[in-house]
Structure 1
Amino acid sequence: MEIIFSKPLSETDVSNRLAIPSGILDKIAPLSMGQKVSIAVIDATGHQWSFLLSTRNDGKYLKPVITGEWLQFVGERGLHKDDKITFYRETIENNEVRFRIGIELAQIVLFGVSMRPAA
């Protein structure tokens, strides 16, 4: 399995859409300005999510983002700003490409006690 990217989530990532680095776009899907594609992503529980990968319609940079079931994923997994996600790509039988997502919850310490265990 190949790591495509990892990032701590921003406030925009957990409330609107997941911004992804432009440099890794071709590792997911080679899109041009204004294009979009649905990608299936499997989480650690084996649940498959339908994310929509798209780029902006105009401008100088592609600015790829993920929407679709992204916010549902965020809500069901209880993700917050500073939690970390990692996107993986794996090739399975018949050279089919599959994507996975991992999460690592940020630690919240209150009076020396962790209030949120790592995922």
Structure 2
Amino acid sequence: MELIFSKLLTQTDIERRLSVPTRILYLFPYTATDHRCFDLQVKDTGDVVWSFRCIRRDGVYAKPVFSKGWLEFVYAKGLKACDKIVVYKAKGVVEGDVPYRIEVKRKILRLM
């Protein structure tokens, strides 16, 4: 699998939307008709498919965000600030399957 990005989640990421790195935009399936948004399907480690709307905001700060669908994932997984997500693109995916994968890595609290 090819690593697309990983991110330690912030409070904004778990309460509103997930801000993703601008440098990865070329890896995603924008269409010629709508270069500002698309729906990205990802499969989690339990083989559940999730759909996130990826929007590239206008203006000087044109950072892309996952909006629609993202909070449902956050609530279903019980994500908290400082948890980490990792997004991969699988290689050799069969046509019709979802090529993107998402993995959650929980923040580990050390009791000492």
Flag whether TM exceeds 0.5 (same fold): yes
**In structure 1, what is the Cα distance between the partners aligned to 2:83 and 2:49?**
20
Q: What does 1:32-111 correspond to in 2, within 5 Å?
A: 35-56=36-57, 58-91=58-91, 92-94=93-95, 98-110=99-111
- The sequence identity of aligned pairs, in percent, is 36
Question: Match for residue 27 of structure 1?
Answer: 27
* Stretches of structure 1 lacking an aligned partner (at least 5 in a row): 113-119
| Contact map agreement 1:17 1:67 (CA 8 A) in 2 | yes
**Aligned CA-pair RMSD:** 2.3
Mapped partners of 1:53, 1:41: distance in 2: 12
Aligned-residue offset at 1:24: 0.8
**Aligned AA for 1:29?**
P
Distance in 1 of aligned mates of 2:26 and 2:3: 13
How high is the TM-score relative to the length of structure 1?
A: 0.81
Matched, 1:10 2:23: no
Q: Of Structure 1 and Structure 2, which has the larger fraction of its residues in strand?
A: 1
Unpaired runs of at least 5, structure 2: none
Paired with 1:107 and 1:31, the residues of 2 have a C-alpha distance of 39
Task: Write the letter of the residue equivalent to 1:51.
Answer: F
Cα distance change, pair 31–108 in 1 and its aligned pair in 2 (3 A)? farther
- Number of paired residues? 110
